[in-house]
Structure 1
Amino acid sequence: MSQATLVKFDYPNSLVKSYQYWHVLLRPAQPTLGSLILICKENVEQYSAISAGAAAEQMQVVADIERVLKERFNYSKINYLMLMMIDPAVHFHVIPRYESGVNFNDFEYLDNQWPTPPSLQDELQLSESVRAQLLQLLRDDFGA
Protein backbone atom coordinates (compact mmCIF):
# COMPACT_ATOMS: atom_id res chain seq x y z
CA MET A 1 0.00 0.00 0.00
CA SER A 2 1.10 3.57 -0.54
CA GLN A 3 3.14 4.72 2.44
CA ALA A 4 2.31 8.33 1.49
CA THR A 5 -1.39 7.61 1.91
CA LEU A 6 -0.79 6.12 5.34
CA VAL A 7 1.31 9.12 6.38
CA LYS A 8 -1.38 11.53 5.16
CA PHE A 9 -3.88 9.86 7.47
CA ASP A 10 -1.44 10.00 10.43
CA TYR A 11 -0.65 6.29 10.61
CA PRO A 12 0.35 4.75 13.01
CA ASN A 13 -0.87 7.41 15.48
CA SER A 14 -4.43 7.24 14.11
CA LEU A 15 -4.66 3.43 14.05
CA VAL A 16 -7.89 2.17 15.59
CA LYS A 17 -7.55 -1.48 14.61
CA SER A 18 -5.48 -3.54 12.22
CA TYR A 19 -6.88 -6.61 10.49
CA GLN A 20 -5.04 -9.04 8.22
CA TYR A 21 -5.80 -7.05 5.04
CA TRP A 22 -7.17 -3.72 6.30
CA HIS A 23 -6.41 -0.88 8.70
CA VAL A 24 -9.13 1.17 10.36
CA LEU A 25 -7.85 4.68 11.12
CA LEU A 26 -9.40 7.65 12.86
CA ARG A 27 -9.73 10.23 10.09
CA PRO A 28 -7.54 13.22 11.06
CA ALA A 29 -10.12 15.72 9.81
CA GLN A 30 -13.51 14.82 11.24
CA PRO A 31 -16.36 16.03 8.98
CA THR A 32 -18.68 14.21 11.42
CA LEU A 33 -17.88 12.64 14.75
CA GLY A 34 -16.37 9.18 14.43
CA SER A 35 -15.20 9.52 10.81
CA LEU A 36 -12.75 6.80 9.84
CA ILE A 37 -10.47 5.68 7.03
CA LEU A 38 -10.67 2.06 5.89
CA ILE A 39 -7.46 1.32 3.97
CA CYS A 40 -6.35 -1.88 2.28
CA LYS A 41 -2.90 -3.10 3.29
CA GLU A 42 -2.22 -4.58 -0.14
CA ASN A 43 -0.15 -2.65 -2.65
CA VAL A 44 -3.03 -1.98 -5.06
CA GLU A 45 -4.43 1.17 -6.62
CA GLN A 46 -7.65 -0.26 -8.08
CA TYR A 47 -10.46 -1.76 -6.05
CA SER A 48 -10.77 -4.61 -8.54
CA ALA A 49 -7.15 -5.57 -7.77
CA ILE A 50 -7.67 -6.45 -4.09
CA SER A 51 -7.27 -10.13 -3.29
CA ALA A 52 -10.14 -12.49 -2.59
CA GLY A 53 -8.96 -12.59 1.02
CA ALA A 54 -9.13 -8.81 1.33
CA ALA A 55 -12.58 -8.75 -0.27
CA ALA A 56 -13.89 -11.41 2.11
CA GLU A 57 -12.37 -9.76 5.17
CA GLN A 58 -13.80 -6.37 4.18
CA MET A 59 -17.29 -7.68 4.93
CA GLN A 60 -16.28 -8.38 8.54
CA VAL A 61 -14.45 -5.07 8.92
CA VAL A 62 -17.48 -3.13 7.63
CA ALA A 63 -19.75 -5.06 10.01
CA ASP A 64 -17.40 -4.17 12.90
CA ILE A 65 -17.31 -0.49 11.85
CA GLU A 66 -21.10 -0.28 11.64
CA ARG A 67 -21.62 -2.08 14.95
CA VAL A 68 -19.11 0.04 16.85
CA LEU A 69 -20.26 3.39 15.44
CA LYS A 70 -23.93 2.50 15.98
CA GLU A 71 -23.35 1.47 19.58
CA ARG A 72 -21.07 4.41 20.36
CA PHE A 73 -22.81 7.27 18.48
CA ASN A 74 -26.09 5.90 17.10
CA TYR A 75 -25.54 7.29 13.60
CA SER A 76 -28.55 7.75 11.31
CA LYS A 77 -26.80 6.64 8.10
CA ILE A 78 -23.25 5.85 7.12
CA ASN A 79 -21.46 6.93 3.94
CA TYR A 80 -18.50 5.11 2.39
CA LEU A 81 -16.64 7.34 -0.04
CA MET A 82 -14.03 5.79 -2.32
CA LEU A 83 -12.48 8.70 -4.16
CA MET A 84 -8.77 7.87 -4.67
CA MET A 85 -8.19 11.10 -6.62
CA ILE A 86 -5.16 12.27 -4.67
CA ASP A 87 -4.27 9.28 -2.50
CA PRO A 88 -3.81 6.22 -4.74
CA ALA A 89 -4.06 3.40 -2.19
CA VAL A 90 -7.41 1.60 -2.08
CA HIS A 91 -9.24 3.25 0.79
CA PHE A 92 -12.62 4.51 1.90
CA HIS A 93 -13.63 7.56 3.88
CA VAL A 94 -16.19 6.27 6.39
CA ILE A 95 -18.49 9.11 7.36
CA PRO A 96 -21.20 8.45 9.94
CA ARG A 97 -24.18 10.74 9.34
CA TYR A 98 -26.41 12.25 12.00
CA GLU A 99 -29.93 13.56 11.51
CA SER A 100 -29.63 15.31 14.86
CA GLY A 101 -26.65 16.24 16.99
CA VAL A 102 -24.51 13.64 18.72
CA ASN A 103 -23.18 14.20 22.23
CA PHE A 104 -19.61 13.39 23.11
CA ASN A 105 -17.51 14.66 26.00
CA ASP A 106 -20.27 17.07 27.11
CA PHE A 107 -20.53 18.72 23.70
CA GLU A 108 -23.05 18.34 20.90
CA TYR A 109 -21.58 17.80 17.42
CA LEU A 110 -23.75 18.51 14.38
CA ASP A 111 -23.74 17.05 10.89
CA ASN A 112 -23.98 20.36 9.02
CA GLN A 113 -24.50 18.68 5.64
CA TRP A 114 -27.42 16.42 6.65
CA PRO A 115 -29.23 15.14 4.53
CA THR A 116 -27.02 16.04 1.56
CA PRO A 117 -23.70 14.34 0.69
CA PRO A 118 -20.94 15.01 3.22
CA SER A 119 -18.27 17.60 2.60
CA LEU A 120 -14.76 16.39 3.32
CA GLN A 121 -13.76 20.03 3.67
CA ASP A 122 -15.89 20.31 6.82
CA GLU A 123 -13.93 19.69 9.97
CA LEU A 124 -15.21 19.53 13.51
CA GLN A 125 -13.05 21.53 15.85
CA LEU A 126 -11.78 18.88 18.25
CA SER A 127 -9.10 19.66 20.80
CA GLU A 128 -6.13 17.30 20.96
CA SER A 129 -7.42 15.87 24.25
CA VAL A 130 -10.90 15.21 22.80
CA ARG A 131 -9.35 13.63 19.69
CA ALA A 132 -7.16 11.41 21.91
CA GLN A 133 -10.19 10.41 23.99
CA LEU A 134 -12.17 9.60 20.82
CA LEU A 135 -9.31 7.48 19.46
CA GLN A 136 -8.93 5.54 22.72
CA LEU A 137 -12.67 4.90 23.01
CA LEU A 138 -12.81 3.57 19.45
CA ARG A 139 -9.76 1.37 20.05
CA ASP A 140 -11.47 -0.03 23.14
CA ASP A 141 -14.78 -0.49 21.28
CA PHE A 142 -13.04 -2.36 18.44
CA GLY A 143 -11.17 -4.48 20.96
CA ALA A 144 -7.85 -3.42 19.47
Structure 2
Amino acid sequence: MSARPVPEMTELEQVAWDALQDGRLIFQSGEGGAWLPPREESPFTLSDDWQWSEASGHGTLISWVTYHVPYHDYFKDKLPYRVGVIELVEGPRLLAAVEFGDVAPVVDMPVELSVVRDEEDIAVPVFRPSESAPSPLALTNRGEHGG
Protein backbone atom coordinates (compact mmCIF):
# COMPACT_ATOMS: atom_id res chain seq x y z
CA MET A 1 0.00 0.00 0.00
CA SER A 2 1.17 3.54 -0.72
CA ALA A 3 1.77 6.00 2.09
CA ARG A 4 -1.06 8.43 2.90
CA PRO A 5 -0.66 11.63 0.91
CA VAL A 6 -0.03 14.63 3.13
CA PRO A 7 0.06 18.26 2.08
CA GLU A 8 3.25 20.19 1.51
CA MET A 9 3.38 22.46 4.53
CA THR A 10 3.86 26.16 4.92
CA GLU A 11 4.72 27.35 8.43
CA LEU A 12 1.07 28.18 9.10
CA GLU A 13 -0.18 24.89 7.73
CA GLN A 14 2.31 23.09 9.97
CA VAL A 15 0.80 24.80 13.04
CA ALA A 16 -2.68 23.58 12.05
CA TRP A 17 -1.37 20.10 11.18
CA ASP A 18 0.45 19.80 14.53
CA ALA A 19 -2.75 20.80 16.37
CA LEU A 20 -4.68 18.13 14.48
CA GLN A 21 -2.05 15.54 15.43
CA ASP A 22 -2.77 16.60 19.05
CA GLY A 23 -6.51 16.01 18.47
CA ARG A 24 -7.54 19.64 17.95
CA LEU A 25 -8.93 21.32 14.84
CA ILE A 26 -7.88 24.97 14.69
CA PHE A 27 -8.67 27.79 12.30
CA GLN A 28 -7.80 31.45 11.93
CA SER A 29 -10.15 34.30 12.75
CA GLY A 30 -10.02 38.06 12.68
CA GLU A 31 -11.97 41.08 11.54
CA GLY A 32 -14.40 39.92 8.91
CA GLY A 33 -14.73 36.28 9.95
CA ALA A 34 -13.01 32.93 10.32
CA TRP A 35 -11.28 30.86 7.67
CA LEU A 36 -9.54 27.73 6.52
CA PRO A 37 -7.06 26.82 5.12
CA PRO A 38 -4.40 28.82 6.99
CA ARG A 39 -2.96 31.88 5.27
CA GLU A 40 -0.84 34.90 6.16
CA GLU A 41 -3.65 37.43 5.75
CA SER A 42 -7.39 37.53 6.26
CA PRO A 43 -9.24 36.67 3.05
CA PHE A 44 -11.84 39.26 4.07
CA THR A 45 -9.68 42.30 4.87
CA LEU A 46 -6.14 41.29 3.82
CA SER A 47 -5.07 42.21 7.35
CA ASP A 48 -2.30 40.25 9.03
CA ASP A 49 -4.02 40.86 12.40
CA TRP A 50 -5.61 37.49 13.20
CA GLN A 51 -5.55 34.75 15.85
CA TRP A 52 -5.84 30.99 16.05
CA SER A 53 -9.10 29.59 17.45
CA GLU A 54 -10.05 26.04 18.32
CA ALA A 55 -13.10 24.55 16.62
CA SER A 56 -15.89 23.13 18.76
CA GLY A 57 -16.08 20.17 16.40
CA HIS A 58 -19.70 20.86 15.46
CA GLY A 59 -20.77 21.75 11.96
CA THR A 60 -23.16 21.28 9.08
CA LEU A 61 -22.85 19.06 6.03
CA ILE A 62 -22.99 21.34 2.99
CA SER A 63 -22.27 18.76 0.28
CA TRP A 64 -20.52 15.43 -0.23
CA VAL A 65 -19.20 13.12 -2.90
CA THR A 66 -18.66 9.37 -2.92
CA TYR A 67 -15.42 8.32 -4.59
CA HIS A 68 -15.50 5.07 -6.53
CA VAL A 69 -12.15 5.67 -8.24
CA PRO A 70 -9.11 6.55 -6.09
CA TYR A 71 -7.29 9.78 -6.86
CA HIS A 72 -4.20 8.32 -5.11
CA ASP A 73 -3.01 4.71 -4.69
CA TYR A 74 -3.35 5.00 -0.90
CA PHE A 75 -7.14 5.13 -1.25
CA LYS A 76 -7.63 2.19 -3.64
CA ASP A 77 -8.30 -0.28 -0.82
CA LYS A 78 -10.67 2.17 0.88
CA LEU A 79 -13.22 2.47 -1.94
CA PRO A 80 -15.88 3.65 -1.85
CA TYR A 81 -15.17 6.57 0.49
CA ARG A 82 -16.84 9.93 1.03
CA VAL A 83 -15.54 13.46 1.31
CA GLY A 84 -17.74 16.32 2.43
CA VAL A 85 -17.79 20.08 2.62
CA ILE A 86 -18.34 20.93 6.27
CA GLU A 87 -19.25 24.37 7.59
CA LEU A 88 -18.09 24.64 11.18
CA VAL A 89 -20.44 26.44 13.58
CA GLU A 90 -17.68 29.04 13.95
CA GLY A 91 -17.94 29.83 10.23
CA PRO A 92 -15.08 28.37 8.20
CA ARG A 93 -15.61 25.55 5.73
CA LEU A 94 -13.32 22.62 5.07
CA LEU A 95 -13.14 19.42 3.06
CA ALA A 96 -12.92 16.31 5.21
CA ALA A 97 -13.71 12.62 5.29
CA VAL A 98 -17.32 11.90 6.20
CA GLU A 99 -18.77 8.66 7.52
CA PHE A 100 -22.53 8.30 7.68
CA GLY A 101 -22.90 4.69 8.81
CA ASP A 102 -26.54 3.67 8.37
CA VAL A 103 -27.76 7.29 8.27
CA ALA A 104 -28.75 8.64 4.86
CA PRO A 105 -26.83 11.89 4.33
CA VAL A 106 -28.79 15.08 3.69
CA VAL A 107 -27.75 18.65 3.07
CA ASP A 108 -27.71 20.72 6.31
CA MET A 109 -27.25 17.60 8.45
CA PRO A 110 -25.57 18.42 11.79
CA VAL A 111 -22.19 16.68 12.04
CA GLU A 112 -19.51 16.25 14.68
CA LEU A 113 -15.75 15.95 14.39
CA SER A 114 -13.76 12.90 15.34
CA VAL A 115 -10.00 13.05 15.01
CA VAL A 116 -9.07 9.55 13.88
CA ARG A 117 -5.62 8.00 13.61
CA ASP A 118 -5.05 5.92 10.49
CA GLU A 119 -2.84 2.83 10.18
CA GLU A 120 0.21 5.10 9.81
CA ASP A 121 -0.71 6.93 13.07
CA ILE A 122 -1.59 10.13 11.18
CA ALA A 123 -4.50 12.04 12.70
CA VAL A 124 -7.18 13.03 10.19
CA PRO A 125 -10.50 14.84 10.66
CA VAL A 126 -13.58 12.71 10.10
CA PHE A 127 -17.10 14.08 10.43
CA ARG A 128 -20.07 11.91 11.41
CA PRO A 129 -23.76 12.64 11.97
CA SER A 130 -24.33 14.44 15.24
CA GLU A 131 -26.11 12.55 17.99
CA SER A 132 -28.72 15.30 17.82
CA ALA A 133 -29.10 15.01 14.03
CA PRO A 134 -32.73 14.75 12.96
CA SER A 135 -33.66 11.74 10.89
CA PRO A 136 -33.66 12.22 7.11
CA LEU A 137 -37.39 11.37 7.16
CA ALA A 138 -38.07 14.25 9.55
CA LEU A 139 -36.16 16.61 7.27
CA THR A 140 -38.05 15.38 4.21
CA ASN A 141 -41.39 15.74 5.98
CA ARG A 142 -40.59 19.40 6.68
CA GLY A 143 -40.21 19.88 2.95
CA GLU A 144 -36.69 21.25 3.21
CA HIS A 145 -34.89 18.61 1.18
CA GLY A 146 -37.24 17.37 -1.46
CA GLY A 147 -39.23 14.23 -1.15
Higher relative contact order (CA 8 A, sep 6+): 1
TM-score, structure 2 as length reference:
0.30
TM-score, structure 1 as length reference:
0.31
More helix by share: 1
Greater C-alpha Rg: 2
